[in-house]
Structure 1
């Protein structure tokens, strides 16, 4: 019975290699081979159960384990005994083994691999068969069931396939940014063998995170929540805390057992604990005063997985980050003016900062001597040339900024309305956290509001000055 199950699984896995472009067929065949594998495993598990099991027979279970171990040890001894192969078994686990062929080419590795598979199969009774699956070149072996490399499945394959097992690129308890950056860094290392290129890429990504030029969706954690299983001592995990907050607002939002609840880590006051800075993604994109905690994400989320891999080749990833100039981002906020609400709209230090550069030509504005001139300059951050000599060109440039910001918002809204099948005059209420367009739309709305608050008032005042000037000339 087990022989038929194993042979059927081999046939199904062979069929998966025929039409790799058909994702539906690939998913169907993968589910079938996995079901056959689990049936075979359960058959062994039934015999290993105690007297209360369905087929208790510990002698069969013990003999299976011992026979598997002996088969593995004999195969390793055979591989080491043939000197012309020059092979070294660096990792063996249950029914698989990694063989290191130092100094060999890809074609030589395929040839030796076929020979090893044939000799190991011949020395074992049927139906034991050692299958030669693939060649990794290059490869990084971290620990048991944790490895990554460029995979070749046949000698004629020209372009390798990135294959990872057990590392962060295929795990779901991290962030998408962590997966993308680690995969791109590994591909750079495998293709170029240049740690300088990897360092430049990593520092560029850290710079983007510190400057806020990233998508919120790429920095969402989504870990399993199992309410009712956490101890009363200390705060629960961030995901459970977010789920509890939602349930207090609406009891119907209680998550299923093991459901993944997304959250992000925002910058907080000095000394604030981690669970206090974990919030829902919606709060981050709706609150203009909130921003991602760049230091936490880089130090705790991006660097550790890269360190585990690149320490093996003598690279210090944390030192790469320490060498960088740190960027403290100044957020663009539209705060209330001094005369509005008593200045209560100003919640951050950035709200009190006036621009020292011209909005159009970016020339540095001269320092203002008296208080009246200072108020006028604060209301109109333009240099003398743009304000008086090139007024028409200045108005055209500022209106172009407003138009660009508004057009970007409209284009993203049109995409969302088309997706939701809404008319142009209907209110858009889509808040799907899985859609990247939603994050881009909210970000564009915030940027457009900032542009209207900053550039719009300058355009209005400049138009008033132009109108007054024309009346005076008339």
Structure 2
């Protein structure tokens, strides 16, 4: 793009910002963010060792053989978490778009930590490259790619990895979660005491628009169900076995991550168990 535009920095900035926005929206493949590092035997490390070695310990997998590479991804974690705590195997993360609603604690997903890759991997590499480019005044070092990346809009933090990465959860926090209220059957938002016991709707949905919300939820669920079934059919044809389809964890296959994302989106679709009785037809 830089050479095709004859060194036009505005075109370059728009191109980089456009792709950064796509990453932050979840429009990418997890395969592009997998690290493949070779690790030495554990007794050769004085401390915890590099991030790859810590990822092996956290995953509980058998230690790689000499010369074998271990694959891991840096996922989003709770505030203040260390990289060692969020380095996970690729099968534990999804690179898709945020789910439409909160899912159960036991099925809490892990997302790729895009900000880490932008700030620590992609941004510095591009910055070093374009620091050699001369700016409009003819001087080098006038192109600050890291500032372009930082200026872009950032999505609201999805603090969903905390419950999965914590080793245990106290009974007090569980009680707080129960006291937070119930979920509206139409919009999926927690509304506490404002939920109607007979209709299962929050105050806003009771005032109007509940039927359309329910129809939208059913439409979304149908869409993701078809996506999941389509991925499963591809997996069964590839493995020639229905049993292998569930056990396959091929991180080099794009269909695997598409299926993981579709299953996650499906689990987040809000569809009521029954039509609310108080809806004004």
Pairwise same-fold verdict (TM > 0.5): yes
1:312 aligns with 2:132: yes
How far has the Cα of 1:461 moved from its partner? 3.5
Aligned residue runs from structure 1 range 395-414, under 5 A: 396-414=215-233
Give the distance between the partners of 2:267 and 2:175, measured in 1 at CA: 15
Q: 5+ unaligned residues in a row in structure 2: which ranges?
A: 95-105, 134-141, 164-170
Give the distance between the partners of 2:20 and 2:181, measured in 1 at CA: 28
User: Normalization by structure 1: what TM-score?
Assistant: 0.45
Give the distance between the partners of 2:175 and 2:22, measured in 1 at CA: 29
Aligned equivalent of 1:324, options 144, 152, 157 = 152
Q: 5+ unaligned residues in a row in structure 1: which ranges?
A: 1-187, 336-340, 360-364
Contact 1:235 1:275 in 2 (8 A): no
- Compared with structure 1, are the counterparts of its residues 245 and 321 closer, same or farther at alpha carbon in structure 2 (3 Å cutoff)? closer
Higher Rg of the two aligned structures: 1
How far has the Cα of 1:261 moved from its partner? 0.9
Q: Which has the higher contact order (CA 8 A, sep 6+)?
A: 2
Instruction: Name the structure 1 match of 2:90.
Output: 281
Give the distance between the partners of 1:204 and 1:320, measured in 2 at CA: 11
Give the distance between the partners of 1:353 and 1:214, measured in 2 at CA: 33
Contact 2:31 2:251 in 1 (8 A): yes
Aligned equivalent of 1:449, options 259, 262, 267 = 267
User: Normalization by structure 2: what TM-score?
Assistant: 0.71
- Compared with structure 1, are the counterparts of its residues 399 and 354 closer, same or farther at alpha carbon in structure 2 (3 Å cutoff)? closer
Contact 1:386 1:394 in 2 (8 A): yes
Contact 1:417 1:428 in 2 (8 A): no
Instruction: Name the structure 2 match of 1:386.
Output: 209
- Compared with structure 1, are the counterparts of its residues 354 and 200 closer, same or farther at alpha carbon in structure 2 (3 Å cutoff)? farther
Give the distance between the partners of 2:122 and 2:71, measured in 1 at CA: 18
Give the distance between the partners of 1:426 and 1:323, measured in 2 at CA: 45
- Compared with structure 1, are the counterparts of its residues 399 and 323 closer, same or farther at alpha carbon in structure 2 (3 Å cutoff)? closer
- Compared with structure 1, are the counterparts of its residues 287 and 304 closer, same or farther at alpha carbon in structure 2 (3 Å cutoff)? farther
1:231 aligns with 2:45: yes
How far has the Cα of 1:287 moved from its partner? 5.8
Give the distance between the partners of 1:329 and 1:465, measured in 2 at CA: 35
What is the SS of the residue equivalent to 1:222?
strand
1:296 aligns with 2:116: yes
Contact 2:76 2:159 in 1 (8 A): no
1:428 aligns with 2:235: no
What is the SS of the residue equivalent to 2:2?
helix
- Compared with structure 1, are the counterparts of its residues 397 and 310 closer, same or farther at alpha carbon in structure 2 (3 Å cutoff)? same
Q: Deviations over 1:377-421 (max 9, x none)?
A: 99425363433xxx4x66544322221121111111111111111
* Worse-superposed segment, 258-267 or 301-310: 258-267
Aligned length: 246
1:207 aligns with 2:25: no
Contact 1:211 1:328 in 2 (8 A): no
- Greater helix proportion: 1
Contact 1:212 1:329 in 2 (8 A): no
Q: Please, what is the CA RMSD of the aligned residues? A: 3.8
